[in-house]
Structure formats: C-alpha cells, structure tokens
Structure 1
C-alpha cells in the first residue's frame, strides 16, 4: 500500500518536496550542467531578439510575445512529457521522476538565500545585509534601512513560497512533469519580460497575464498554508494572519502576491510591502498587515521558522493525498 501511494502523482510530489527540502540545488551539479531554468531563459532571450524589435509597432510586439508564450509552454510541456515517458521504462522510475521534479522546487534555496540576509546582519551589519538582500530583490539596496532590508527579505520568503514552492507543486499535481515544466517556463518568462516598462509592456503582456492566471489558486493556497503554520509557530498569530489576508491581500498591486505577504505580515505582527524604490522610482503599494513596529533582523528568523512549517504542511498535505489515492 505504501509503495503504491508513493508511486501516485501525490506520492511522487511528496518525495520531491522532501528531496528539495533536504538536498536543494547541489552547486556541484549545477556548476557542471546548465540548470533547466537557465535553458528556459535562453529560449526566452532568443524569442525576444527575434520578436521584440524596437522598430516594430505595439501590435507586432504583442503578437511576438504571444507567440513566444505559446512556443515556451509547448516546448516545456513536451520536454516534461518526454521525461515522464523515459523514466517510466526505468525500474523505480518514480524515484527518478521525484528527483527531476525536485529540481523545479525552491524550498531549500529560498530558505538559504533569505537566511543569508539574517547572517549578514550578524556578521557585517547593515552594509552586509544590503549586499545579501540585493541578491534576491530588485529594489535599490542603498535606499533600505534595517527595516527595509528585513521587510524585503521577509516579503521574498512569503511571495516565493507561493510561486517557487506551492505553485510548482500544484501544477505537478494537476499535470505531472508537463504541467510542472510549463509552469516554471512561464514563471521564468514573467520574471524576465513581464515588466511594465517601455521595452516589455507589449511583448511581455501574454506571459505576465498567463503567469497571473497560473498563480491565482496557488497564491491563495499559500496563504492557507501560512495560516496553518501560524497555529504551531511560537510567537505567530494565526487569527491575525487570517484577518490581514482577508483585509489587505486584494489591495496589493499584484493579484496574487498580496495573499502570502499579507498572511505572513499578520502572522508575525508586521507591516510588509508598502512604498518601495526600484531603479530610482518609487512604487506606491498598500501596506500588508497592521503591525505597529517595523521589521528587524529577528523577524527574518521568525519568518523562516514560519516558512519551514508552511513547507512542512505542504509536504503533509501531499502525503495525505497520496495515501488517499
């Protein structure tokens, strides 16, 4: 019974989540091989060179972006299907599929990057923390004080819990490896060309809208998992997490990011998001949460505890789904 459960889609996902939580992305492997996300990025760059020429009109650039999105999704889904078929001919291929799926999850790598900001505070003070946080956010680090750096790190943990952990898991459950790879390709495209500036407003339109749609359910599931984790996290407040999410998430400029960010803010008694500076320009955004005190280094550690327990809740859900299959 246990082996049959592990070979189900949910069982393979549960194993993949465990592999990722324990092993993550081994540098020794990816220093020798290109990460699949890098390959997606190369394809996106190729498409932009061909279809996002500055001399083209807005309509042509939008059509080019649509063509790229369709090509990217089709190629990623096809690769996922081929990988699934290949491992099906191997003994214990479900274990190999779990290992492949774990490559596209980001629990350990996200934890390590956010924890590096807290460690930098301890060893190098604010300048070191600014350098560390600049590796994971696009805002100008020199404009950030301790509260700004801490909020940026915590917001990264919350938002990327949704699109780096929950969403890939969700789409694996829905579509197996084809669904998982298609989602990761789309999410990579959104991060590269989904910006609302002159260069990408038209060309990245399709990728940005499809990414919003693909994350619609996972973002809300992420909030639910954070609520659940807050019940067992020392010092966290699950009721405040629920209240902040239901009150503030819809006010965020993103249709999805506000859900995990508001849930995290409420659980920890903080205010997250708000006005931020990107490339010298201030982006006005609503505050998530109603906490009175600004975030500090210790709050990053508290957020990481909450993040780990939310990941644990996701693993538990996948395991229960496998047993019920």
Structure 2
C-alpha cells in the first residue's frame, strides 16, 4: 500500500474511531482484535515457554514465538487489506473501520474522564476504583493526588502507545503495519516482564516494543508541546523544557517523553515513586510543578489531549494531501 492510500486510510480510521469507538455489544459478541492477538500469545506462551529449559533456549523460544505471532498477524491483515482494496477507493471505508479498532482515542478519553468523575462523585474510593481500570499500580496505595497523577500519566503514555504509535504504523504500512504494531505491543504487555517465567521468553517482545515506540513517543511529545501552544491554560515552553530535562531520566526509553511534556505543559510533577502490587518503584519525577494534583488537573490534561488529537488529525490530512499531489 502506497502512502497515497495509507495516509487517507489513517485519517478515515482516526475519524471513525473518534466517532464510534468500539461498541460494547460488538465486544460482547466477538471480542476485540487485541483479545484475539492476546489469545494467540497465550497459546504460544503455554506451548513454547518450557520452565525446565535453559535461559538461552527460553530466550530463543521467545524470539520464535514473536516471529510466529508477527507472521500470522501480518499475513491475515495483508490478505484482508488486499481483498478490500480490490473494490477500489470505496474499499478504504471498511478498511478504515477495521483499522479504527486498533486505535483508542475515544476509549482513552472515557477511561481517564471516569477517574475525574469518580473523584467528584464518589470521593477517594470512587477515584481509586476508576483508576484501577487503567493502571497497574496498587490503587489502595494512592491518595487523591496519587490517583490524579496516575490518571494523567496513563493519559500521556497511552496517547503515545495507544494512539500515536498505531497511527504512525498505520500511516506507514496500512493495516498490516498497525496490526503488527498492536501484536508487538500486546506481546510486551503480556510477556515482556522481568518475572522468572518471562525474563527470557519475553525479552524479544520487550526490546522490539521499545524500538517500535521510539518514533511515536518523540512525536507525541511534540504534539503535546504544540497543543500547549494553542491552549491558554498550558505552558508550551514549560513542556519543552521538561522534555529536554526529564524525558531521558525515565526508567522507560519512551514513556518519559509524553509524560514530561504533559507535566511541563500543565505545571505538574508526574511519575516519581509508585507502588505496583507490594513493590515500591523509585522512579524520577517528570516536570518541576506541583505534585498535589486534583480532578481539575485531569480535566486540564484531557483538554490538552483533545487538542493534540486534532493536531494528529491535521498531520494525517496534510500527509494525505502531500501524497496525492
């Protein structure tokens, strides 16, 4: 698929996902493409990750599992794309609807907004219940400010790997591109952990996920800085300063970029020490603003996020026009 096709496809997919999301009734009936990918990863994990094998063999098995996952995912996506494009330009519409299922603009906004609503209507326990749906840390360890920071951090990081990164790979490689990205990202979330079972087997998934997210994390930071320049209540200079100073300090090679940009833009401190289960992680702070955040700060972050999404749409539209002419 050429850029003259993939960039209009990207614009249509972004619009479709923002307008429709993924209907709960459809999820109940057939699941979601990510759950299908997850089911395949689970089968590969059970079949190839032998606990009695050596570290080197389990690492090789993880590379094989990732290769099989990508081969199946890319092949199926390429077949579907080829069949739909045989209908000509009209085939872009159903193709965009399929691709839109692998984007998360609407659902991310809804889940983060639910945290603000939970705090406002149900107090701390309402906020904890809502934030537990989107973060892996122990919600009972969070006070109100911690709940708010967790929601804003999740918004920033998931803007990168749930929207900008899949959009980037969709624009570059069509449906196979976005499907391959989601397969890698899902594999990392399922097996890319430093646990006894997955330290070796998940090595390839974790490293490849870091690599494919590199361009999008930087682009996300630029989108947030640019969005801050369009927002009277945000600070574009502060966002840029935080990115330059703090992004590289994060324990992740990618998460620090959007988190630092978001923190600097709305005058907060994000990341920092947090608790996952019973384990405390000592992480550096992103930004140099206040750490005592409120539900109002979540809504400010959401307003900035919406502007950044519009800018992403603008980039897709500009790219489509450039590719056509």
TM-score per shorter chain, which class?
A: over 0.9
Quick check: 1:6–1:12 contact (8 Å CA) kept in 2? no
Quick check: 2:115–2:130 contact (8 Å CA) kept in 1? yes
Which runs of 5 or more structure 1 residues have no equivalent in the other structure?
none
Quick check: 1:63–1:203 contact (8 Å CA) kept in 2? yes
- 1:122 corresponds in structure 2 to 120
Aligned-partner Cα distance in 1 for 2:265–2:320: 29
Aligned-partner Cα distance in 2 for 1:287–1:158: 14
**If the length of structure 1 is used for normalisation, what is the TM-score?**
0.96
- 1:221 corresponds in structure 2 to 219
Equivalent position to 2:173, from 172, 175, 179: 175
Quick check: 1:11–1:319 contact (8 Å CA) kept in 2? yes
Q: Cα distance, 1:155 vs. partner? A: 0.5
What is the root-mean-square deviation of aligned Cα atoms in Å?
Answer: 1.3
Q: Cα distance, 1:260 vs. partner? A: 0.2
1:215-254 deviation line (CA, Å, top 9, x unaligned) = 0111000000001111112311000000000100000000
Q: Cα distance, 1:90 vs. partner? A: 2.7
Which shifted more, 83-92 or 213-222?
83-92
Q: Cα distance, 1:6 vs. partner? A: 11
Equivalent position to 1:37, from 7, 13, 34: 34
Q: Cα distance, 1:24 vs. partner? A: 1.0
Equivalent position to 1:65, from 22, 42, 62: 62
Partner secondary structure for residue 282 of structure 1: strand
- 2:231 corresponds in structure 1 to 233
Q: Cα distance, 1:8 vs. partner? A: 2.5
CA 1:293 to 1:58, structure 2 compared with 1: closer, same or farther past 3 Å?
Answer: closer
Aligned-partner Cα distance in 1 for 2:208–2:156: 21
Aligned-partner Cα distance in 1 for 2:86–2:312: 29
Equivalent positions of 1:1-325 (< 5 A) are: 8-90=5-87, 92-325=90-323
Quick check: 1:121–1:297 contact (8 Å CA) kept in 2? yes
**If the length of structure 2 is used for normalisation, what is the TM-score?**
0.96
Query: How many matched pairs?
Result: 321
CA 1:6 to 1:201, structure 2 compared with 1: closer, same or farther past 3 Å?
Answer: closer
1:76-124 deviation line (CA, Å, top 9, x unaligned) = 1111101111101236101111111111000001010111101101111
Quick check: 1:81–1:177 contact (8 Å CA) kept in 2? yes
Structure 1 segments (4+ residues) deviating >2 Å: 5-8
Quick check: 2:6–2:173 contact (8 Å CA) kept in 1? no
Partner secondary structure for residue 133 of structure 2: coil
